[in-house]
A = this chain, B = another copy of it.
Amino acid sequence: MSNRWGTGRIESFSDGVFAIALTLLVFDLAVPASAFDNLWRGIAHEWPSYLAYLTSFITIGGLWMAHLGIFRRLQSANATIMRLNLLVLMGVAFLPFPTGLMAKAIRDPGAERAAVVFYGVTLLVISILLRVLWDAIVQHPELLDPSVSAHEVKPIRRASLPNIGFYVAAIALALLLPQAAVFGYLAIAIAAVWRARGDKSPQPEQAQVA
C-alpha cells in the first residue's frame, strides 16, 4: 500500500478542470457593438468562433470521456500517474488559448495557418500525454481494477484513446488548407466521442460499433 493515492479526489479535481475549461470557452464568443445594426448578419459573421467553440467543446468532452474510461479501470494511482494526469489537465486548461487564437485568426490569410497548426499541435500533445498516462498504468497492473483482464488492455487502448495519427494528418493538412484542417479537428473530436465506450470489457469485434 506504499506510494498510492485513492482515485476519488483525483477524479473530482479532474472533473472540475474539464468542466471549467469547457465552460470558459464561451468567453471567446462575442458580437461587436458595431454589428448591432444588422444583428443576424453580425451573429452569422462570427462563424469561425462557433466552429472553434464547437471543436474545442467536443474535443474536451471526448477527452473527459477518455479520462473517465481510464480512471474507471483504476483502483489506485501512483506518483507517476498523478504527475501525468496533472500534465494532461495542463493541456486541457491551456486549450482555450489556442482556441481563441484560432477563432480570431481564421479569415486572416497571414495568421490562420500558424493559428490552426498551433491549435492542432496542442491537441496532439494532449493526445500523446493521455496515451503515455495509459501506458504508465498498464506497466503497473496492480493499479488496475481486478476486473480488468490482461487481454482487454489493448482493445481498451485502441477504443478509448484519441488517435494520434489523425492529429498528425490534420496538422499536415493545416499547412496546405488551414480552414479544412479545422473541420478535420472537429471530425476527430466527433469520432472520439462516438467511439468512447463505457463497458468494462469491450470485445475487439465490438470496439468499433456504437
Q: Which residues of A does B touch, CB under 8 Å?
A: 1-6, 9, 11-13, 15-27, 29-31, 33, 36-40, 43, 53-54, 57-58, 61, 64-65, 68, 72, 76-79, 82-83, 86, 89-90, 93-94, 96-97, 100-101, 104-105, 108, 110-111, 114-115, 118, 193-194, 196-202, 206, 210
- Which of B20, B90, B96 contacts A16 (CB under 8 A)? B20
Question: Which of chain B's residues have a CB closer than 8 A to the CB of A100?
Answer: 30
Chain B: minimal CB distance from A130 (Å): 16
Q: How many copies are assembled?
A: 4
Interface of A is mostly: helix
Question: Which of chain B's residues have a CB closer than 8 A to the CB of A22?
Answer: 17, 89, 93
A49 (CB) vs chain B CBs: closest residue? B97
Question: Which of chain B's residues have a CB closer than 8 A to the CB of A210?
Answer: 79
